[in-house]
Amino acid sequence: MPITQIETDYLIVGAGAMSMAFADVIFHEQPQAKMVIVDRRHRPGGHWTDAYPYVALHQPAAFYGVNSMQLGQGGTDLASGPEIVAYYHLLMKRFTDSGRVQFLPMTEHHGDGRIVSTVDGGQVIDVKARRRIVDGGFMNVEVPAVCPPKFVVEAGVTLVPPNALPRVANAWQRYVVAGGGKTAIDAIVFLLDAGVDPERIRWIVPNDAWLWLRDKVQPGLALAEFMRHLDSLIQAKNLDDVFLQLERSGSLCRVDPERLPTKWRCATVSKEEVAALRRIRNVVRMGRIRRITAQQIELDGGSIPTDAGTLHVDCTANGLARKPPQALFAPGKITLQSIFMCQQVFSAAILARMELLDLDDTARNAMCEVVPHPEYKRDHPACMMASFRNLLNANRHMPWWLRRSRLNLMHHESLYRYVTGAATLYRRMPAATESVDRILAGVANEAG
């Protein structure tokens, strides 16, 4: 079978949220640019196409999607998974209807522009990208439905991903939810909302995490929230004090007020969800699962009993794993990564705008540093400070673009508050930098 040849400006690998946010900026701000977007899935939307059916945004729809198109009702709306998938379908249709974008679903990039069908290996397309190949899959969001369990599961054990819960046809005697992150939280809240007695739910939590209260991360309130984080960094005596101050201010919370969490992954929850989680009394904190047999669950710190009457729900996929950063811009290539803590689509849109600036790659890479997805509480200070630096640096090159970007959490502030907030951040950065250096030195000393 002959190899098809395609020439384009940008080859974008992946049709997930970051890729679509990047493509949207190029599409609207470079009217002549052509793009080829490839994805191994049959439709755009990335991990949203594999997520459990009751999933919804953790943050307001006002901050998610792409710059040019409102998601759902906008504002505080927490768009559902199906809404998000439909949103990306409509967006891709806008792209392809223009004649400037080709979407190649069910294909994989094998390197150097070589695209191979996932259903017919003989179908090969060589794409020559005149400008860049854009790697939109580097951050590789993992969801349980497409990830095998990271522990041994023996015969006689019923283990399902959270996707299976809406299809449960018979009542189980007990439910075990494994995982301490937002997926596990969603699964537990789903079971409780479905009427399951909390006494029948066992929650295996490898590590407790600090949780971000959603009512503080809302349109018009985000600037005040980030100033609270800045204040906590400046005033904190040590790392734990950063989080305890934010807890006292109502920004963060923990499920068990008697335990100091070790994790910070930006999981965003409502006060109602926290109250629901506190109804679960049978919480197991014995590390990660190693093996599930027909009689017991073996963990790092010991074993607990199980049986054939228990449905085990695997919510242990790592989601956005922390990965060693790559160069954002390199000859012929862009690697999409976060440059603002836990705001991946906003980051991708900024990178697209940076691509269009009259700068070389050295200057682009110097403008913004990668902010890897945080995992532990010690990651918070460095990630927050890098995010602030990136915003200030980007603002020197694209101030009004940032102000107009609907993906910018501060977009919904008044112009006066937006400008004065930026000035306040600029003035307070030296004190915050000094304090964070001291805090992280203390963490290093404790570890050493």
DSSP 322-387: ------SEETTEEE---SSTT-HHHHHHHHHHHHHSS--HHHHHHH----PPP-BTTHHHHHHHHH
pLDDT digits (tens, 9 = 90+) for 319-350: 666 778 999 999 999 999 999 999 999 999 99
| Amino acid identity for residue 291 in this structure | R
pLDDT digits (tens, 9 = 90+) for 144-163: 777 889 999 999 999 999 99
Phi first, then psi, for residue 158 (nearest 5°) are -100, 110
Q: What pLDDT score was predicted for residue 395?
A: 94
How far is 362 from 218, CA to CA, in rounded Å? 35
How far is 311 from 307, CA to CA, in rounded Å? 9
Residues whose CB is less than 8 angstroms from the CB of residue 298 and which lie 6 or more positions away in sequence, other chains included: 289, 290, 291, 292
Q: What pLDDT score was predicted for residue 319?
A: 64
How far is 314 from 161, CA to CA, in rounded Å? 5
What token pair was written down for 66?
């792409």
Q: CATH 3.50.50.60 spans which residues of the chain? A: 4-140+321-397, 144-208+280-314
Burial-class residue 193 by CB neighbours within 10 Å (0-12, 13-18, 19+): exposed
As a whole number of angstroms, the longest Cα–Cα distance in the chain is 67
Q: What pLDDT score was predicted for residue 80?
A: 93
What token pair was written down for 206?
């490898």
**What SS3 state is found at 111?**
coil
CB atoms within 10 A of CB 293: 15
Q: What pLDDT score was predicted for residue 448?
A: 64
Pairing of strands 174-178, 310-314: parallel
Q: In this structure, are residues 44 and 83 in contact, taking their beta carbons and an 8 Å threshold?
A: no
Q: Which residues of 117-153 are buried (b: 16+ CB within 10 A; e: fewer)?
A: beeeeebbbebebebbbbbbbbbebbbbbeeebebeb
DSSP 9-56: EEEEE--SHHHHHHHHHHHHH-TT--EEEEESSSSS-GGGGTS-TT-B
Phi first, then psi, for residue 139 (nearest 5°) are -75, -20
Q: In this structure, are residues 144 and 314 in contact, taking their beta carbons and an 8 Å threshold?
A: yes
Q: What pLDDT score was predicted for residue 363?
A: 97
How far is 246 from 242, CA to CA, in rounded Å? 6
How far is 197 from 399, CA to CA, in rounded Å? 52
Residues whose CB is less than 8 angstroms from the CB of residue 340 and which lie 6 or more positions away in sequence, other chains included: 346, 347, 350, 371, 387, 390, 391
The topology under which CATH files domain 144-208+280-314 is FAD/NAD(P)-binding domain (3.50.50)
pLDDT digits (tens, 9 = 90+) for 219-245: 999 999 999 999 999 999 999 999 999
Q: In this structure, are residues 442 and 435 in contact, taking their beta carbons and an 8 Å threshold?
A: no
One CATH from 3.90.1150.10, 3.50.50.60, 1.10.287.70, 3.40.50.300 for 4-140+321-397: 3.50.50.60
Q: What pLDDT score was predicted for residue 321?
A: 67
How far is 38 from 117, CA to CA, in rounded Å? 10
CA 269 to chain CA centroid, Å, is 14
List of the chain residues with pLDDT < 70:
1-2, 319-321, 448
H or E stretch at 91:
helix 81-97
